[in-house]
Structure 1
Amino acid sequence: MRPGAGTPESTWFTGLGQAGAADYPGLDEWRDLPKVQQPTWQNEASHRAAVAELSTLPPLVFAGEVDLLRERLAAAAQGKAFLLQGGDCAETFEGATADKISARVKTILQMAVVLTYGASLPVIKMGRMAGQFTKPRSSNDETRDGLTLPAYRGDMVNGYDFTPESRAHDASRMVQGYHTSASTLNLIRAFTQGGFADLRLVHHWNKGFTQNPAHARYESLAADIDRAIRFMAACGSDFEALKRTEFFASHEALLLDYERALTRIDSRTGTPYATSGHFLWIGERTRQLDGAHVNFLSKVRNPIGIKLGPSTTGDDALRLIDALDPEREPGRITFITRMGAGNIREKLPAVVRRVTDSGAKVLWVTDPMHGNTVTSPNGYKTRRFDDVMAEVRGFFEVHAELGTFPGGLHVEMTGDDVAECLGGADPIDEEAFLTRYETVCDPRLNHMQSLELAFLVSGALAQQS
């Protein structure tokens, strides 16, 4: 991610808001199509005011950054780079603190170092950050002790507290989400451009965490990097490229009111970009071909991710490509497979083979989290680390058998020392949930589990090369 200040003028948008963008052909077709997983706003006047305000606010990301990401993803689809995408299941306004944001960024940077050094591939670093404030739900309502209230749909829609006031769908939260995203992006830009990401500081990124096998392996790798850097310095190398890094922001494009209000027309090309994030994805619950989400995202220039569950067929995948990428543009489509550890080897090959045989060049990414969710005996939603690892192994095995490139990893993780997923080298058990379970939605890998996963993927990538 390049700093906002100093961005070349050609990468800025015109000041067109919703009214100006309304003239773009078909941009509002989605309004007349079936819409799922959308809020029921309690106050229409508040809703109109929020949309009007969002439509006039500056873009959160710029067209040049989005175009750069599309180029990077095109390289990954060709086997020349690897995508690492990670962050919270659902961001919260309360959790948008400097400490928590820096811990997440630091963990992603550490994972990227492991992948880059082990696999000798450039790693595209992308956070589920600065916009992941909404979540699809399997039920509209939640009942506790005889009281039924709307389900929690993320901080941009309603609150987590189980009260009628908190659970009401409040459109003003979209504006708060915008400002929280802006402050998060500002901090990420400062971290990744201002020296925090300097590769010569790899040892310092691991301070404050307890010793375990993943830590020891990371320290050994960091020492190797240090030796390599000292060697290059002795040879007179310029370290400018090691001092900063690109970092992109992504989220599920679930809340269509928000996405549409932040769509802007690029002054260079006259085409619309969703300026809420660099990369947007469509979830397993919202990828209906005749639905509003697919239609809206087909109109914007951002690279698009699509979650594919175990029921996906090859024809489903091809129809989604036709709807979202009729020109077959490199870097446009990323398929994020979430099959489950027990399904990945059986279900994925037919989909990959069908897409590959069609000639479409998509980026294949594994999400080993969402297909492996279980409930622990003491009542917590969790994931077993062994299941996560098993799905990743299966993903790589399938692509190795088919001769295709396993191009990315999409994980729900945090930089904090939480206890939400069972297992790992520093084992998390059910008792730890009582004091260290912090997620408001789905369980996340903690810092050390994330590093362990990075080492596994690094080894699998090295074998592919």
Structure 2
Amino acid sequence: MKEPAQEGHIGSTRIAPPRPAPLPGPAGAVDAPLPAAQQPQWPDPAERDAVVAELRAAPQLVFAEECDRLRERLAAVARGEAFLLQGGDCAETFGQTSADAISGKLRTLLQMAVVLTYAASMPVVKVGRMAGQYAKPRSRPTETRDGVTLPVYRGDAVNGLEFTAAARRPDPRRMRRMYDASTTTLNLVRALTQGGFADLRQVHAWNRGFVADSPAAGRYEELADGIDRTLLFMHACGVEPNGVQTAEFFVSHEGLLLDYERALTRTDERSGLPYATSGHLVWVGERTRRPDGAHIDFLSRIRNPVAVKIGPDTRPDDILGYLDRLDPHREPGRLTFVARMGAERVRDRLPALVTKAVEAGARAAWVCDPMHGNTYQTPSGHKTRRFDVILDEVQGFFEVHQELGTHAGGIHVEFTGNDVTECIGGGSAVGVEDLPRRYETACDPRLNHSQSLDLAFRVAEMLGG
């Protein structure tokens, strides 16, 4: 088995003997079963137990020191001193662990980050939805086609996308495949971010090529020229090469499969505290954020930075509950709220939640997910999102924070480095009629490479305005 690399900003520490963490609760507490939503019904519990035992003995994917470093970066976001860019696939698949697929996503995120760093005049914390985003919550347990009903696809970590009884059978061995695929992804990300691939000058050259080819070139030219002048000034001042050749990068995913997450939780030798070593940042989603549920309980017991996605039905008292469970000491960098309100509701629903958090002494980061609240289905049956609506939710998110005097801390988007046709609009406009041409997502529609950079330049205008 190949162990994770140990060089660079992710993976720069020794591998300690794996010790599963006890996930301690309050002193004297006795664990009781808690409701755990969206968990697979594994047909063979013994097989599940065998896979969990393998994962408990496997090396950690990330390290406690790295998670602590991300907490420091997110603390800067919470204080208004940095901006978070988090993004990647809706659902990673085992078939997309190729070098081209991984480097394409990383390249897209690095390109977006350069634009946002210049516009915001502050550090951009780069976090990928990578190396663990293999499981998805679903609204229904089954899917029916032509009179045949089978279990719904829950991500490659659980079952297969093919609509057959064999593929849709939940298979716990897939959790081990998720671990191996995540190891492959992390190894390549480490190598790329510490090599010439992440060189700031090369990333900007890619952006220059995008601007030259974009129908919106005139709109973006001034910003690209500004980055040119900045790089020339840095060169004239001798600020190179080390400062621009590498990139600090972290990985994150939804902590959906509790069997997997618990098996990869380890006790840190320095502090004796438990960390989820499946990823640097773990979040709970809209369907699993029940305050008395198993997912919130799990996040409350680990020392990683954690996040909660909140939708338009979230109440101010819910915010207070999450703060008390996940961040009782109000530590900057510990908790991030990812708002997924929808463009039509963000301006009305978000202010009360942010206000409640401020009144409760929260020092959390606030991030906008403009994707999940704006999904709809076309007559052809394709789920899609409109670029202009995505942009409108980001604009509304910024407006709310500006009015409240709080910090709009970042964006969380689903994208790919490929030229797919899954979302409508953008500079190189994708129309409804184009959706079948390259609709490749395993779950929800993603921005393609060009649309992602369009979004970065448009958000940069908001930050610079």
Give the whole-Å Cα distance in 2 for the aligned partners of 1:8 and 1:139. Answer: 37
Give the whole-Å Cα distance in 2 for the aligned partners of 1:456 and 1:360. Answer: 29
Deviation at residue 228 of structure 1 after TM alignment:
2.9
Identify the range of structure 1 (228-237 vs 251-260) with the bigger mean alpha-carbon deviation: 228-237
- Secondary structure in 2 matching 1:323: helix
Taking the TM superposition and a 5 Å limit, the aligned residue runs for 1:441-452 are 441-452=443-454
- Secondary structure in 2 matching 1:32: coil
Contact 1:214 1:448 in 2 (8 A): no
Determine the structure 2 residue equivalent to 1:86. Answer: 87
Contact 1:12 1:63 in 2 (8 A): no
| 1:380-425 deviation per Cα after TM superposition (whole angstroms, max 9, x unaligned) | 0001111101111100011111010000100011111111011112
Taking the TM superposition and a 5 Å limit, the aligned residue runs for 1:145-156 are 145-156=146-157
Give the whole-Å Cα distance in 2 for the aligned partners of 1:94 and 1:168. Answer: 18
The answer as to 2:144 corresponding to 1:143 is: yes
Distance 1:370 1:8, change over 3 A: closer
Deviation at residue 448 of structure 1 after TM alignment:
1.2
Give the whole-Å Cα distance in 2 for the aligned partners of 1:249 and 1:235. Answer: 33
Give the whole-Å Cα distance in 2 for the aligned partners of 1:6 and 1:196. Answer: 13
| 1:269-302 deviation per Cα after TM superposition (whole angstroms, max 9, x unaligned) | 0000000000000101111111000001100000
Contact 2:79 2:332 in 1 (8 A): no
* Percent sequence identity over aligned pairs: 58
Taking the TM superposition and a 5 Å limit, the aligned residue runs for 1:417-428 are 417-428=419-430
Give the whole-Å Cα distance in 2 for the aligned partners of 1:157 and 1:64. Answer: 30
Distance 1:53 1:29, change over 3 A: farther
Contact 1:142 1:149 in 2 (8 A): yes
Determine the structure 2 residue equivalent to 1:47. Answer: 48
Determine the structure 1 residue equivalent to 2:303. Answer: 301
- Secondary structure in 1 matching 2:418: coil
Identify the range of structure 1 (127-136 vs 209-218) with the bigger mean alpha-carbon deviation: 209-218
Taking the TM superposition and a 5 Å limit, the aligned residue runs for 1:13-28 are 14-18=16-20, 21-22=21-22, 24-25=24-25
| 1:250-271 deviation per Cα after TM superposition (whole angstroms, max 9, x unaligned) | 0000000000000000000000
Give the whole-Å Cα distance in 2 for the aligned partners of 1:227 and 1:93. Answer: 42
Contact 1:202 1:222 in 2 (8 A): no
Deviation at residue 6 of structure 1 after TM alignment:
7.2
Distance 1:17 1:31, change over 3 A: farther
Give the whole-Å Cα distance in 2 for the aligned partners of 1:336 and 1:294. Answer: 15
Distance 1:392 1:7, change over 3 A: closer
Deviation at residue 437 of structure 1 after TM alignment:
0.7
Distance 1:406 1:199, change over 3 A: same
Contact 1:13 1:264 in 2 (8 A): no
Distance 1:194 1:406, change over 3 A: same
Deviation at residue 30 of structure 1 after TM alignment:
6.6
Distance 1:216 1:29, change over 3 A: farther
The answer as to 2:121 corresponding to 1:120 is: yes
Determine the structure 1 residue equivalent to 2:359. Answer: 357
- Secondary structure in 2 matching 1:435: coil
Determine the structure 2 residue equivalent to 1:213. Answer: 215
Determine the structure 1 residue equivalent to 2:235. Answer: 233
Identify the range of structure 1 (364-373 vs 375-384) with the bigger mean alpha-carbon deviation: 375-384
Give the whole-Å Cα distance in 2 for the aligned partners of 1:145 and 1:9. Answer: 48
Identify the range of structure 1 (112-121 vs 213-222) with the bigger mean alpha-carbon deviation: 213-222
Deviation at residue 25 of structure 1 after TM alignment:
4.8
Give the whole-Å Cα distance in 2 for the aligned partners of 1:442 and 1:283. Answer: 14
Letter of the 1:245 partner, please give it. A
- Secondary structure in 1 matching 2:196: coil
Deviation at residue 55 of structure 1 after TM alignment:
0.4
Give the whole-Å Cα distance in 1 for the aligned partners of 2:33 and 2:217. Answer: 53
Gapped runs of 5+ residues in structure 2?
none
Taking the TM superposition and a 5 Å limit, the aligned residue runs for 1:424-439 are 424-439=426-441
Determine the structure 1 residue equivalent to 2:199. Answer: 198
Determine the structure 2 residue equivalent to 1:321. Answer: 323
Letter of the 1:256 partner, please give it. L
Deviation at residue 368 of structure 1 after TM alignment:
0.4
Distance 1:120 1:40, change over 3 A: same
Distance 1:172 1:214, change over 3 A: farther
- Secondary structure in 2 matching 1:251: strand
Provide TM-score, normalisation by structure 2: 0.94
Distance 1:390 1:225, change over 3 A: closer
The answer as to 2:167 corresponding to 1:166 is: yes
Contact 2:55 2:264 in 1 (8 A): yes
Distance 1:101 1:7, change over 3 A: closer
Distance 1:359 1:325, change over 3 A: same
Determine the structure 1 residue equivalent to 2:247. Answer: 245
Determine the structure 1 residue equivalent to 2:177. Answer: 176
What value does the CA root-mean-square deviation take over the aligned residues? 2.2
Contact 1:203 1:219 in 2 (8 A): no
Distance 1:279 1:63, change over 3 A: same
Taking the TM superposition and a 5 Å limit, the aligned residue runs for 1:254-403 are 254-403=256-405
| 1:115-141 deviation per Cα after TM superposition (whole angstroms, max 9, x unaligned) | 011121100001000000000000011
Deviation at residue 432 of structure 1 after TM alignment:
1.2
Provide TM-score, normalisation by structure 1: 0.94
- Secondary structure in 2 matching 1:158: coil
Distance 1:30 1:179, change over 3 A: farther
Deviation at residue 325 of structure 1 after TM alignment:
1.1
Deviation at residue 452 of structure 1 after TM alignment:
1.4
